């Protein structure tokens, strides 16, 4: 169930699909939300032909997890705005080699975020080529590219695609399967 009112979005999350339960509330600013790209409506299912890019032999990719609206915006704009607030390694782009759907949500949240985060923080993802930036391994599954807070990283040519999880099903842009 969705309910919209003056910058608030309220919805119920099924406990067994996303790891959360109950009523969730998100507040957004007066900024317009990005529109979902047309090809984002494609869904991974057992009947779909082809494999995602990360399942091809000899190819390696990194994943930047975020909320769905942020992943959509990164994909649509082909750029990443480095947050001004530093993370555990400082300001920059944090990625992982953990493939979407390969580990339980609680493992992903504990592995990627020092501070506790809600499952909404991993409902969106962008897929980057492994050699897109000079990443430094900072943990078993975490990679970091340092950049000054507030700067914009151009992802044109290194952004493979993006995905969003909707009721437990990942939906992908076409680039993930090309």
Asked whether residue 5 carries a pLDDT value surpassing 60, the answer given is no
- Return the pLDDT at 88: 84
pTM exceeds 0.85: no
pLDDT digits (tens, 9 = 90+) for 50-62: 789 999 889 899 9
- Return the pLDDT at 160: 95
Render 13-44 in DSSP notation, one character per residue. Answer: E-HHHHS--EEEEEE--SSPPPPPPGGGGEE-
96 and 45 in one domain? yes
25 and 41 in one domain? no
- Return the pLDDT at 147: 96
53 and 120 in one domain? yes
pLDDT digits (tens, 9 = 90+) for 70-124: 999 999 999 999 999 888 888 999 999 999 999 999 999 999 887 678 999 999 9
What DSSP character marks residue 53?
G
46 and 14 in one domain? no
- Return the pLDDT at 115: 66
56 and 95 in one domain? yes
Q: What is the four-CA torsion angle of 103, 109, 113, 119, rounded to 10 degrees?
A: 130
- Return the pLDDT at 2: 36
83 and 163 in one domain? yes
65 and 125 in one domain? yes
Asked whether residue 127 carries a pLDDT value surpassing 60, the answer given is yes
Tokens read off for 154: 């151009």
23 and 46 in one domain? no
pLDDT digits (tens, 9 = 90+) for 7-57: 333 333 333 333 433 333 333 333 333 343 444 333 333 334 578 999 988
- Return the pLDDT at 165: 95
Q: Which domain holds residue 163?
A: 34-176
96 and 117 in one domain? yes
98 and 73 in one domain? yes
Cα–Cα distances in angstroms (integers) from residue 83 to residues 4, 75, 86, 148, 159, in the given order: 27, 17, 7, 9, 19
137 and 57 in one domain? yes
- Return the pLDDT at 49: 52
Count of structural domains within the chain: 2
95 and 11 in one domain? no
Output 155 or 12, whichever has higher pLDDT.
155
């Amino acid at each position: 169930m969705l309910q919209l009112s003056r910058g608030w979005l309220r919805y119920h999350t099924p406990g067994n699909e996303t790891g959360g339960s109950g009523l969730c509330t998100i507040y957004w600013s007066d900024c317009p939300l990005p529109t979902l790209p047309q090809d984002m409506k494609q869904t991974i299912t057992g009947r779909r032909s082809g494999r995602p890019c990360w399942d091809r032999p000899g190819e390696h990719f990194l994943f930047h997890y975020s909320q769905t609206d942020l992943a959509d915006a990164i994909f649509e704009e082909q750029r990443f705005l480095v947050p001004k607030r530093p993370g555990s390694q400082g300001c920059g782009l944090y990625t992982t080699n953990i493939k979407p759907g390969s580990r339980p949500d609680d493992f992903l949240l504990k592995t990627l975020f020092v501070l506790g985060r809600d499952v909404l923080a991993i409902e969106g993802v962008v897929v980057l080529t492994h050699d897109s930036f000079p990443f430094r391994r900072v943990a078993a599954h975490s990679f970091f590219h340092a950049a000054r807070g507030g700067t914009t990283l151009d992802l044109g040519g290194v952004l493979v695609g993006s995905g969003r999880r909707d009721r437990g099903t990942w939906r992908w842009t076409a680039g993930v399967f090309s």
